Structures are given as C-alpha cells and as structure tokens.
Amino acid sequence: MFEPSKKRGRWSWWYLLLLVQFVAVLWPPFYNKAEPYWVGLPFFYWYQLLWVIIGAVLTAIVYVATED
Amino acid sequence: MQDVNWIALIIFIAVFGFITWLGFAAANWRRGDLDLLHEWGLGGRRFGTVVTWFLIGGDLYTAYTFIAVPALAFGAGAVAFFAVPYTIVAYPIFFLVFPRIWHVCHKRNYITAGDFVRGRFGNRWLALAVTITGIVATMPYIALQLVGLQVVIGALGVSGTGLAADLPLIIAFVILAAFTYSSGLRAPASIAIVKDILIYLTAFAAVIVIPIELGGFGKIFAAVPPPKLLLATPGPNTTGAYSAYATLALGSALALFLYPHSVTGILSASSGRAVRRNAALLPGYSFMLGLLALVGFFAIAAGVAGPPEYAAGFKQFGNNFAVPALFLHSFPSWFVGIAFAAIGVGALVPAAIMSIAAANLYTRNIHREFFNRNPTDKQEAQMAKWVSLIVKLGALVFIIFVPTQYAIYLQLLGGIWIIQTLPAVILGAYTRWFNDWALLVGWAVGIAFGTGMAVAANLTPTYPLQFAGYTFPGYTALYTVILNILVTIVLTPVFNAIAAQRTPLDETVASDYYA
C-alpha cells in the first residue's frame, strides 16, 4: 500500500535555476553601459536581448528536468 | 479622403476580409456546443501547445504593445526597454504558478479567477473583489486596442469629419463583435495564428530592412540623443531610474498573468503540460518585443518627426504615430498594407479575448453568484455573449468620445489594481494559510494606497518612496502589492482568532493542483 509521493507538487532544486534570470536583469547598474558594442548595438540592449534567449533555455532545461 | 494610400488600404481590407471569414468559420473548429459557457468562453479547453502559444501570444502582444512600446522608446528612450526584462521574468513566474492554477481549475470546472477564489477561500465577497478588479482593469485595455486600430486607420489616410471619421473603427468593431458572439474564444484563437504570422513577418522586415536602409545599427544609435540612449544615472540619495526600471519590470511581470484575458488564455489550454511548455516557448515573443522597442529608435534615426506629411499624424496621435510613420517612410505601399493589417488584427485578437474574459467573469462570478443561482447552460452562455458585446461597445463609445489620455491613465490604474489580486490568486494557489477576510482587507488597502500614490505622482507609474533620507522611485503596483501582502499576513492570525473555531472553507484538495 505504500505509494511514494514522488514528484507530485514537490519542490525541486532545479527551480533555483529560474532565479538566475531575475538576478541577471533586475539589477540595471550592472548593464547600464554602452560599451562594448556588438553589431552596432550598445551593451544595454544586446545584453537584455541575450537574456531573453538564455532565460528561455533555462526554463526549457527546468521543464525537461522536472517533467514527470 | 484625397490622401488615402490606396494600395495599402486595399491590402488592409483584404486581410480584414479574410480574418472576418476566419472568425466566423472558427465556430466549426474542434466543434463543440457553443451554448455551453466553457465551449464559448474557453474554446472547450481543447487548445494544445501550439495553438495555446498563438493564443496567449496574441493575448499578450497586442496592437497597443506594438504601437506604445516603440512610441515610448521614440519619446523617452532607454526606459522603454523595461518591456524586455519584464517579459524575461514573467515566464518563470508563469512556469511555476500557472500549471497549478490550470490543474485546479480543470478539476473543479472553474472558468475564471473568481471561480477559483470562491472555491479556494469560500468567501463570495473576496471572489467579488477579484472579479470586479478584473473587469474594471480590462476595460481600458480594450479601449487602448481600439486606439491602436485608430492609429493605423488614420495612417492609411482614411479620414472624415464627425462620426464619419470613426466609421472604419465602427465597422471593425461590428466585425469583431459579430464573430466573437458567434464563435467565442475559437475566433480569436484562429485569427491569432494569422495575426502572429503577419506580426512576425512585419517585425522581422522592420528589423532587417529598415536598419539596412538607415545604414546599420551603429548609425541608428548614433542618431539617438545621448540622454535617451541609456538609463539616466541616479543623482545623490536616490536610486533614480534604476529602481524605476527594475520595479516596472518586476511589477508588470507579476500583474501580467492576473489579467482576466491571460487567465482565459491559459485555462483554455488542453493540459497543464501545454501550459508549462509554453513557458519555455512564449519567450519567442519577448525577443520580438525587444526588437520592437528598438524600432522606436529607428524612427528617431529616420527622422520621421520632421517631414510635413507626417505632421498631421503626430498631431493627432502623438508619439503613437512613430511606428506608422516609420513604416510609411520605409516600406513600399503593399507592405505597409500588410504591416498595418498586422497591427489592426493585432488589436482585434486581444480585444476579443479580453471581452470574452470579462464576460466569463461577469456571468460566473456576478450574475450566477448574486442574481440567478441556477442558470441553464444555454442561459449562461447567452449571458456571456451579451456581456461581451456590451463590454466592447462600452470600449468603443469610450474611445470615440473620451480623449485617449484618459484611457492611458485608466490603464495605468488598472495595472495597479489588478496586481492586488495576487495574494488571493497566486499565493492562494500554493497555500490556504491566509484568512479570507484578511485577504479582502489587504486588497482594499492595496487598491486605496495604489490609487492614492498614482494620483500623487500625477498619474505616472512610479512613486518616489522616501525612507531614511533616501528616495526610491518605484512602480506603485509593486510597492502596494507588498503592502497588501504585509497587511494580509498581519491580519490573518487576528481574524482567525476572532473567528474562533471556524474551519477554513476550501473545496479544493492538495491533489487538485497537479496532474
């Protein structure tokens, strides 16, 4: 009769990976610069656009890692 | 009408004709009995991962987004880019919280956030507070979509005097109202697919073709005045633009999924898994949003504010005319028609979903709760159809007769109000610990302070919070939801003690929240 509760609604350490995105983009002093430019874009802009991609990848990793 | 851009207009009308047909045909898509509220109002909950992606994306990335974000970049510069971190942090929140909400709503046949709060907390007044907040916050948002449509119609050169000037808008409204009435959520879901294809096409063309025309990103950014290029460095004793930017992003992210149209989009998904997958896939739209913010800079570099042919447009629509002017300046007429159709359809999709979401809320959580406790399925669906119509009509009347600036102010307030439902809805999805009356008081405090602070800040989004000699300008919504949560935490043990041995009502069980 013993039924392991397995992953049901359980906290997973993988979720901490999602926190990385928060730290990376919610601290403007860190990226409020124009240098270095990339393809003519100031750092402020390409940094945040890059984090859209990284964030999606991190979320995808967490999705796969925590999928039942 | 002598300035009409005929080629663009013909293509615009052709696209609209197509999506009108599609909106009505959608009733037959994954066919269901549209006299049932969950069929009309949630598409029968049959939308898989891909359709959900289009629907939620169509929901979140609206005509107003495409006009207003670049307009902000055009006018105010770097601060407009807050939309990017906003979407970056929104999706982890979505990923963690919303599958739980999806599961419990699916298991218990909840159609709205009001249903969920009613079931979870057993308090019809708390549910009513959540419901009214949702409806009131949605209304100005619908109105602003119509503004987006108005701008592109104006940019096509269609003009007139008096009510004739509004005729195209009224026609678009009638089309929208008709297919929403007949097909429910299936209509915007199917059109969202077309809309997103057009929008992506337009966005990529804009981001590739226009920079080439302007000589590359380097030249574009060189044309942006230095104060607008980056966030202003904060002065002494203040966190200045930095805290404003970060709190705008975080607060907007927290509020985003509390809007009824987000909830409706999510609840129409066929599985919790489709919801989770979308958390990883929807960021595709965020990238495009970032590119769109840059389009505002393209408009600066292209110098569209100067030429006299755009002067009338800027006079009538302010900075919202930046994107249409840029497109008129940079694209051949036929593509302008496609681009404007994309934006126009991009107004209809969220307007449809928002009106359906508001109708679902009214029907379930006001009418059924307080007026007619046992409607037949048909009565329920019929009521929702009428309410959706009335809501859209209200928005149309508002836009025609009231200056646009008021819609913008109301939208700002709406964001501050909707975030006050966070404790009941998002925290409620995790724990029943909070006392329901404490939640209601917390909500009321948040609403009162939020409105007061917004007014004190002259109806701008940030409030300069003063503490220990420092100033922390921050998004009013974020500050007040924190206050809301604190009040709720403090009052919960107090109210629990007063209520003596009353057991917390909760018709949900722990296993409802996951697969």
Interval A14-68: pLDDT, tens = 888 889 999 999 999 999 999 899 989 999 999 999 999 999 889 889 988 887 6
CA A51 centroid distance within chain: 7
Alpha-carbon distance B250 to B121, whole Å?
A: 27
Residue of B nearest to A35 (CA): B230
Which residue from B54, B38, B363, B379 is spatially nearest to B184, judged by alpha carbons? B38
Inspect the interface and report whether the beta carbons of A63 and B280 lie closer than 8 Å: yes
Domain B6-404 falls in which CATH fold? Answer: Sodium/glucose cotransporter (1.20.1730)
Contact predicate B369/B44, CB 8 Å: no
CA B357 to chain CA centroid, Å, is: 11
Question: Which residue, B91, B156, B147, is CA-closest to B336?
Answer: B156
- Two tokens at B257? 């999924």
Q: How far apart are CA B513 and CA B56, in angstroms?
A: 21
State how far the Cα of B261 lies from the Cα of B276, in Å rounded to an integer.
18
pLDDT at B161: 73
Nearest residue in A to B279, CA atom: A59
Query: A52, A66, A67: best mutation site toward chain B, by most B Cβ within 10 Å?
Result: A52
The answer to whether A40 touches B218, Cβ cutoff 8 Å, is yes
Phi first, then psi, for residue B472 (nearest 5°) are -125, 85
CB contact under 8 A, A48 and B81: yes
* A57 located within any domain: yes
Inter-residue contact B282 to B86 (CB < 8 Å): no
Q: What per-residue confidence (pLDDT) applies to B403?
A: 85
Which ipTM score applies to this complex? Answer: 0.88
Q: Is the pLDDT of residue A5 over 90?
A: no
* B463 phi/psi in degrees, rounded to 5: -120, 135
User: Is A28 contained in some domain?
Assistant: yes
**How many angstroms separate the CA atoms of B307 and B328, rounded?**
12
Report the 10 Å Cβ neighbour count for B216: 13
Instruction: Please report residues of B whose CB lies closer than 8 A to that of A34.
Output: 229-230
- Say how many residues make up chain A: 68
Instruction: Render B451-482 in DSSP notation, one character per residue.
Output: HHHHHHTTS-SEEEEEETTEEEEEEHHHHHHH
Tell me which of A11, A48, A61 to substitute to probe the interface with B (most B C-beta atoms closer than 10 Å). A48
Minimal CA–CA distance to B425: which of B368, B468, B361, B380?
Answer: B361
Across chain B, which has 515 residues, the per-10-residue mean pLDDT values are: 80 91 84 80 80 76 83 91 91 89 93 95 95 94 88 86 80 89 87 86 88 91 92 90 94 93 88 82 82 90 87 88 93 93 89 92 92 89 92 89 86 94 95 94 97 94 91 95 97 88 83 85
Q: Residue A10 falls within a domain, yes or no? A: no
Distance CA B413, CA B156 (A): 32
Residue A8 domain-assigned (yes or no): no
- pLDDT score at B329: 92
CA distance B285 to chain A (A): 9
Amino acid at residue number B322? A
Contact partners, residue A43, CB within 8 Å, separation at least 6: A31, A33, A34, A35, A36, A37
Of B431, B424, B430, whose CA–CA distance to B487 is shortest?
Answer: B424
- CA-based nearest distance A35→chain B, Å: 11
Asked if residue A9 belongs to a domain, the reply is no
Chain B touched by A4 (CB under 8 Å): no
Cα–Cα nearest to B145, from B80, B61, B40, B76: B61
What is the 3-state secondary structure of B62-98? CHHHHHHHHHHHHHHHHHHHHHHHHHHHHHHHHHHHH
pLDDT grade for A1, boundaries at 50, 70 and 90: very low
Max distance between CA atoms of chain A, in angstroms, equals: 65
In this complex, the residue of B91, B217, B514 whose CB is nearest that of residue A8 is B514
Task: Please name the residue of chain A whose CA is at the shortest distance from the CA of residue B231.
Answer: A32
Say yes or no for a CB contact (<8 Å) between B221 and A51: no
Q: Can you say how many angstroms the Cα of residue B438 is from the centroid of all Cα atoms in its chain?
A: 28
| CA B498/CA B40 separation, integer angstroms | 43
User: Cβ separation of A28 and B231 shorter than 8 Å?
Assistant: yes
Cα–Cα dist B164/A35, whole Å: 52
Please tell me the predicted confidence (pLDDT) of residue B269.
86
pLDDT of residue B455: 94
Residue closest to B83 by CA, chosen among B70, B95, B74, B94: B70
- DSSP letter assigned to residue A35: P
Evaluated on CA atoms B441, B447, B450, B455, the torsion sign reads negative
φ and ψ of B368, to 5 deg: -70, -35
A42/B246 CB distance under 8 A: no
β-pairing, B462-467 with B470-475?
Answer: antiparallel
Which of B96, B221, B250 has its CB closest to that of A42? B221
Residues from chain A that touch B221, judged by Cβ atoms under 8 A, are 40-42
Residue A39 lies in a domain: yes
Residues of B in contact with A26 (CB under 8 A): 85, 89, 246, 249-250
Selecting from B89, B241, B283 the residue whose C-beta is nearest the C-beta of A56 gives: B283
Residue of B95, B221, B513 with shortest CB distance to A18: B95
- For chain B, what are the domain ranges? 6-404
pLDDT score, position B95: 87
Q: If you write DSSP's letter for every residue of B390-409 in order, what string do you get?
A: HHHHHHHHHHHHS-HHHHHH
Say how many domains are in chain A: 1
Residue A5 lies in a domain: no
Sign of CA dihedral B352, B353, B355, B359: positive
A1 domain-assigned: no
B231, A39: Cβ pair inside 8 Å? Answer: no
Return the residue of B nearest to A16 by Cα.
B92
Here the tokens at position B463 are: 């409030």
Q: Give residue A28's domain range.
A: 16-66
Mutate to test the interface with B, among A3, A17, A38, A49 (most CBs of B within 10 A): A49
